[in-house]
Amino acid sequence: MNPRLYYITDRNNYPLSLLDNIKRAIDAGVDFVQIREKDLPVRELLSLARIASDLKTGSRTRILINDRLDVALAADLEGIHLAQSSMPASRIRAKLSRPDFLIGVSTHSLEEVRAIQDCGVSFITFGPVFFTPSKSNYGPPVGLEALKDVCHSSRIPVFALGGIDQTNYVQCLISGAEGIAAIRLFQDPNLPIEKVVRKIKEVSDQKPAPSQ
């Protein structure tokens, strides 16, 4: 199985049009786009979500939004992504009538991963695996060994997150991650996103067999 790719948006660190890059990401074949524009007023956020949802029509890309269940439902998105400080995934799942609605959760330790295994979570991001400025407040990187432990322990798909670039994404996949989540990797104006996606998607399934 080819790796799954999870593009997290950050318009404040992208010099070009965010919607143009979302469209390029969809056309390139990313599996998920998470709209992570926390500072936007609700009306602007809803408008962005609706346009992004329209852009992915006819593609396999699924659009999620950070935290805002109300916006996700109003824009008919495929899911939301939660932080550790967000409403628990189990409470959100109980509110939903859509069994296919995706709930992703950010995790930073094996304990956090274990705590949500039976909470209706669709997938997790785990990190920061490597240093990244956007995650520096969370402390030092967790590293590849921690990623490997989480991937072998979790029944939920794991996306490696934090400092992922073209030099280290293969290490994350070998460690057992089912996919790569990133901001900068998919927003580098000097690196066509089509080439990035194609290169990563060409990686064959290199995950080691689970420990017995």
pLDDT tens per residue across span 29-64: 999 999 999 999 999 999 999 999 999 999 999 999
Asked if pLDDT for residue 28 goes beyond 90, the answer is yes
Higher pLDDT, 158 or 139: 158
Q: Determine the Cα–Cα distance for residues 159 and 206; give it in Å rounded to an integer.
A: 15
**In the predicted model, is pLDDT for residue 22 greater than 70?**
yes
Specify the DSSP class assigned to residue 56. T
The CATH number of 4-201 is 3.20.20.70
**102 residue type, one letter:** L
Listed by start position, the domains of the chain span: 4-201
- pLDDT computed for residue 134 by the predictor: 66
Reported pTM: 0.93
Percent of the chain with pLDDT over 70: 93
Rounded to an integer, what distance in angstroms lies between the CA atom of residue 188 and that of residue 167? 15
What backbone phi and psi angles, to 5 degrees, belong to 200? -70, -40
- pLDDT value for 138: 65
2 pLDDT exceeds 80?
yes
92-112 pLDDT per residue, tens: 999 999 999 999 999 999 999
Q: How many residues does the chain have?
A: 212
For residues 29 and 197, give the distance between their C-alpha atoms in angstroms, rounded to a whole number.
Answer: 7
